């Protein structure tokens, strides 16, 4: 593994966006970021800024009110970037599937790299999902 790829996998900065989930998965994401799980061990830092972020964590189903915001945030992240969907609503639409006000899963709006199932997803599963997504960076090249 060359030094650039190694640095990328060692320093994923997260951005968290909720597409209107029930907040269950959001709470689990915040739980994963607390000192208890100490994700800074892996170089993971929570960023409030899409321009600094490498990994976009999205919760909740894509809907007509905020799919533009989601796409805008995604476009503001510089390459290489990863999208990790947390929870079943973001993965497939979940209980909101075929509701008239939703579009379905997040992959109807932006490309998704990893789906983390669960209602809500556990913090351990979220950390595992982000680490799994980092494996895709090795294929990105320099």
Binds another protein (CB under 8 A): choice among 98, 100, 139, 142: 142
Q: Work out whether the CA dihedral 65, 46, 72, 10 comes out positive or negative.
A: negative
CB 61 within 8 A of CB 94: yes
CA 54 to centroid of chain Cα atoms = 10
- Interface size with another protein, residues (CB under 8 A): 27
Q: Which of residues 34-93 bind another protein (CB under 8 A)?
A: 35, 38, 40-43, 45-49, 51-52, 54, 76, 78-80
Using the minimum distance from each CB to another protein, give the nearer residue, 51 or 98. 51
For residue 34, what are the CA distances in angstroms to 30, 45, 76, 133? 6, 11, 26, 21
CB 20 within 8 A of CB 60: yes
Site string for another protein, 5-24 (x = CB under 8 A): -xxx-xx-------------
- Least CB distance to another protein at residue 105 (A): 26
Does position 131 bind another protein by CB under 8 A? no
Most distant CA pair in the chain, distance = 48
For residue 17, what are the CA distances in angstroms to 30, 53, 79? 12, 12, 18
Using the minimum distance from each CB to another protein, give the nearer residue, 93 or 113. 113
- Least CB distance to another protein at residue 81 (A): 9
Contact residues for another protein (CB under 8 A)?
3-4, 6-8, 10-11, 33, 35, 38, 40-43, 45-49, 51-52, 54, 76, 78-80, 142
């Amino acid at each position: 593994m060359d030094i650039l790829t190694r640095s990328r996998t060692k320093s994923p900065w997260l951005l968290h966006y909720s597409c209107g989930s029930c907040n269950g998965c959001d709470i689990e994401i915040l739980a994963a970021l607390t000192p208890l799980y100490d994700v800074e061990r892996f170089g993971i830092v929570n960023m409030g800024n899409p321009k600094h972020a490498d990994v976009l964590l999205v919760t909740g189903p894509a809907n007509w009110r905020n799919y533009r915001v989601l796409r805008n945030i995604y476009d503001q992240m510089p390459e290489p970037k990863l999208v990790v969907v947390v929870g079943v609503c973001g993965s497939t639409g979940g209980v909101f599937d075929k509701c008239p006000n939703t579009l379905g899963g997040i992959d109807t709006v932006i490309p998704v790299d990893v789906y983390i199932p669960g209602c809500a997803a556990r913090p351990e599963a979220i950390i595992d999902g982000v680490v799994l997504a980092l494996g895709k960076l090795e294929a990105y090249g320099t």
